[in-house]
Amino acid sequence: MYRIAAIGDRDSVYGFGVLGIDVIAIEHGEDASQKFRKISNGEYAVIYITEALAKELEDEIEKFSDRQLPAIIPIPGVKDNNGVGIANVKKSVEKAVGSDIIFND
């Protein structure tokens, strides 16, 4: 059975734990690339990754662009956001409900 993980700085991902999602907190200076490779090895179907970490691991993430699993989904963190995560959240909500209910311009 596949699992779901959230990876990024502790403040951004620790709340996912209450939803039953595995939390992998990356502290400053740790080998994020090694931890990412370990979790993307096949055990996880969905990996939520903070925007800041996704930017840092662009080359690693690109290797999975042509694969179905794992789905690697950038999410906004508490800092260093570039808008990719919130755009993905917006797109998912629009797809689910058929309308932009978050950012109704």
Q: Where are the alpha helices (DSSP H) in 14-57?
A: 32-39, 51-56
Range of the domain at 90: 3-97
Number of domains making up the chain: 1
User: Domain of 37: which CATH number?
Assistant: 3.40.50.10580
CB of 78 closer than 8 Å to CB of 9: yes
Decide if 11 is inside a domain. yes
Decide if 34 is inside a domain. yes
Decide if 103 is inside a domain. no
33 vs 6: which has the higher pLDDT: 6
Report pLDDT digits (tens) over 23-81: 999 976 678 888 998 898 889 999 999 988 988 898 888 888 888 899 898 888 887 76
Six token digits for residue 4: 């779901």
pTM for this prediction: 0.77
Count other Cβ atoms within 10 Å, centred on residue 17: 12
Closest CA to 6 of 27, 34, 25, 33: 25
Instruction: Report how far residue 27's alpha carbon sits from residue 10's, in angstroms, rounded to the nearest whole number.
Output: 7
Decide if 65 is inside a domain. yes
